[in-house]
A and B are shown apart, each in its own frame.
Chain A
Amino acid sequence: MTNNAARRINATALWGIVLLIFALVPVFTTSAYKINVASHILVWGLFAVSFNMLWGITGMLSFGQALYYGLGAYSVGLMVEHMGSGWFLPAIALGLVMAIALSFLLGLLVIRVGGVYFTMLTLAFAQLAWQITFKWYDFTGGDDGIQGIIPPGILENRAAYYYFVLVLVFLSIWMLKRMAYSPFGMILRCVQQNPDRVRFLGRRVRRNQLRVYVVSSFFAALAGGLMAGVDSSIHTDMFFWTTSGEAILMSVLGGINQFFGPFIGAAVFILIEDSIGARTEFWPLIIGSIMLIMVILFPKGIVGEVLRLKARFGKNDARR
C-alpha cells in the first residue's frame, strides 16, 4: 500500500515537473516561434489524448476526429471573421456545443456498425465535411482559409494566450484522466476486451461507446478552437483526413495503452517535425518510415517500451 501511494506521488511529481517546464517556456524565451511550438505540443497533445480515449481505451479506431477539430476551429474562425474578435471565447463555447450535438447525432449512426466499418464511416463523414468546407467558398473562404484571427483583450498578448492554452489543456487532460480511471473508464476497457461480458453485467455497450465518442469529440473541438488562436489562422486541412491521421500517428508513437502516451507522442512528433521536417520537403516519407518501424517492432510506443525496460531492469521490489 505504501508502494502504491509512493507511485502516485511519483506520478504527480512527474506531471508537476512537466507542467512547470511548459509554464516556464515564456519566461526563458521571448521567441514567438518557440512559444508557438510549445503551444502546438499542448494543443496536439490534447487532441491525441482525446483521440486515444476512443482507440486505446475503448478500441474504436476513428479516422474522423478531424471533423470535430475542424468544427471547433471553424466555429472560432468564422465568428471572429464575421462578428469581431470579441466573440472569440463565445465562439469556442459554441464550437464545443456544436461538437456535442453533432457527435451525438453522428454517433447514433456510426456506433451501430463495428470494427473497420466504424473507421471507414468516421473517415467518410470527416471527408464530407472537408468537401463542403472546401467548396462552399462564399461562407468558409474555401482553400484560402481564414487569416488574422486575433484573440481579444489581454489574450492578444502571446504569452497570455499561451498560459490560457496551458491551463485549459492541463485541465482537460486532468479531467480525461479522471474519466479514464473512473468506473466509466473501466467499462470502456471492458467494452474493448469483451463486449459480451459487459452486456452480461447489465451494462450497455453502445450507450457507453456513444458517451466516450461525445467526450472525445468535445475535447477535439476544444483543441481545434484553441489552435485557431495559436496560429491566428485556420485552413480546410484541419478537416482533412491527414489531420485525423496525425493524431493516430502521435498516439501510436507515444503508446496507445498508456494514458499519457499520446501526449508524449505528440511532443516527440512535433519536435521531430520541427527539426527534420523543416529541412526537407519529404517529411511524410520520414515520418512514414519511423511509424512503419514503430508499428512492426515497437507497437507499445515510446512510453510502453520505456515502462517495459523499467520493469525488466528496475529494482526487484518494483516488479511486485
Chain B
Amino acid sequence: MDASFFFTQAVSGLTIATLLFLVASGLTLIFGVGKVFNFAHGSFYMIGAYFGYQFSAVWGANFFLSLILTGICVGLVGMLMEFLFLRRIYGRANEGGFQILLTYCFILIIDDLVKLIWGTEYKSLARPSGFQGAFQMGDIFIPTYNLLIIGIGVVAVILAWWILAHTRPGRVARAAAVDRETVGVLGVNVPLTMTVVFGLATAMGGMAGTLAAPLRTVTPGAGIEVIIDSLIVVVIGGMGNFWGAWLGAILIGEVNAFGVAFVPKWATLFSFLILVIVLIFKPEGLFTSRKVR
C-alpha cells in the first residue's frame, strides 16, 4: 500500500462522506427539532437524483442551475408532505411508531411514483463541463468532480453551522429542539418552524441526490441504500447532533472507501459492525456527552 493509493481512497471516502452528510444532517436536524424520525429521507435523495436528471439531461439546463432548482423542488415536496400528513399525527399515542409507519408509506408511494414517471431502467447524468477531468499531483490522480463535491460539502457545513448558530431562525430551531412548548408560548409559530426545517432538510437530501447522480447510476431503489447508511451515520453521531453527523459521515465514508479497496465483497458489513459496537458501548452516540435521563 503506497501513499498514492492511500490518498486516492481517502479522497473517495471524503466524497462518500460529503454525500452521506448532506442526507444524514437533514435526518438528524428533523429528529433534533421535531422528534420525527423521517424514514423516507432516502426517497427524497432519490427524487433529487431524478429531478436533477430531468432538469439537466432532459431539459438541458446548466448542471449548477439544476442543482439549485432540484433543491427548491424537493424542499417544496418535503414541506408539502410534512404539512399534509406528518403534522396530523403529532402528539398521538404510540407517536414514534406511527411516524415511522407513515414515512414508510411515503417510501412505498414515492418509489412507485418514480417508476411510474421515469421507468425502471437506469438513468445516468453527465458530469458538469469543467469537472470531467482529473487533477494530477505527482503520480496521484483525483477526479475534479470529487473535489467539487467535497468543496460543496465544506460550504454546506459552514453555512448550516452559521445559520444554526448565528441567525434568528437557527436559534428558534435550536430552542424548539430543547423545549417545543415553551418556544410556542413565547410566540413562535412552532409548526411553521417544523415545516421549514423539514423543507430545508429534504432540500439538502435532494441536492445530495443530484450531486451523486453522475457518480452512481440513478435507479428507483437508490433511496433504501442511502437511508440505511445515513441511519448508521446519525446513530453513530448521536440523534439530533449536527457535528456528530458530520464526524460520523466522515468515519463511515472512509471505512466504506477502504473496505471496498481491501475486501470488496464484505465492505458493507464494516459500517454495520461499527454501528453494533457503538450501540453496545455508547448507545447515545459517539459524539454526544452523556445526559441525565
Give chain A's interface residues, CB within 8 Å of chain B: 55, 59, 61, 63, 109-110, 112-113, 115-117, 119-121, 123-125, 127-128, 131-132, 135, 241, 245, 248-249, 252, 256, 281-282, 284-285, 287-289, 291-292, 295-296, 299
Q: Is the CB of B231 within 8 A of A131?
A: no
Contact B113 A296 (CB under 8 A): no
Cβ-defined contact, A288 with B276, below 8 A: no
The 3 closest A-B pairs by CB, nearest first: A288-B108, A285-B112, A288-B109
Contact present for B272 and A128 (CB under 8 Å): yes
Q: A285-B108, A285-B109, A288-B105 are in contact. Are A120 and B265 (CB under 8 A)?
A: no
Closest to A245 in B: B104
User: How far, in Å, is B47 (CB) from chain A's closest CB?
Assistant: 14
Residues of B close to A281: CB separation below 8 A: 115
Contact in complex: B85, A292 (CB < 8 Å): yes
In the complex, which residues of chain A have a beta carbon less than 8 angstroms from the beta carbon of B137? none
Residues of chain B at the chain A interface (Cβ within 8 Å): 31, 37, 85, 88-89, 92, 94, 96-98, 100-102, 104-109, 111-113, 115-116, 224, 228, 231-232, 235, 239, 265-266, 268-269, 272, 275-276, 279-280, 283
> A287 CB to closest chain B CB, in angstroms?
7
- The residue of chain B having its C-beta at the shortest distance from the C-beta of A291 within the complex is B105
Q: What are 28 residue pairs bridging A and B, where the CB atoms are less than 8 Å apart in the complex?
A: A61-B96, A112-B283, A115-B96, A116-B100, A116-B239, A117-B235, A117-B239, A119-B97, A125-B276, A128-B269, A128-B272, A131-B268, A132-B269, A248-B101, A248-B104, A252-B101, A282-B112, A282-B116, A284-B112, A285-B112, A287-B108, A288-B106, A288-B108, A288-B109, A291-B105, A295-B89, A295-B102, A296-B88
Complex-state Cα separation, A113 to B279, whole angstroms: 8
**Residue of A whose beta carbon sits closest to that of B86:** A296
Query: Chain B contacts of A115 at CB under 8 A?
Result: 96
- Residues from chain B with a CB closer than 8 A to the CB of A288 are 105-109, 112
Q: How far is the CA of A285 from the CA of B114 in the complex (A)?
A: 10
User: B279 and A117: CB pair below 8 A?
Assistant: yes
Return A5 CB to nearest CB of chain B, in Å.
Answer: 31
Q: Which residue of A lies closest to B104 (CB)?
A: A245
Contact B98 A295 (CB under 8 A): yes
Q: Which residues of B contact A252 (CB under 8 A)?
A: 101
**From A61, A110, A249, A284, contact of B97 by CB (8 A):** A61
Name the A residues within 8 Å of B116 (CB-CB).
282, 285
Query: In the complex, what residues of A have CB within 8 A of residue B269's CB?
Result: 128, 131-132
Alpha-carbon distance A132/B209, docked complex (angstroms) = 27
Which residues on the A side are within 8 Å of B279 (C-beta)?
109-110, 113, 117, 121
Say whether B283 contacts A113, CB under 8 Å: yes
Find the A residue at minimum CB distance from B293: A114
- Which residues of chain A have C-beta atoms less than 8 A from B98's C-beta? 295, 299
Contacts of A135 in B (CB 8 A): 265-266
Does B235 lie within 8 Å of A120, measured CB to CB? yes
Report the minimum CB–CB distance from A317 to chain B (whole Å).
Answer: 29
* Bound form: Cα–Cα A269–B277 in Å: 38
B108 CB contacts on chain A under 8 angstroms: 284-285, 287-288, 291
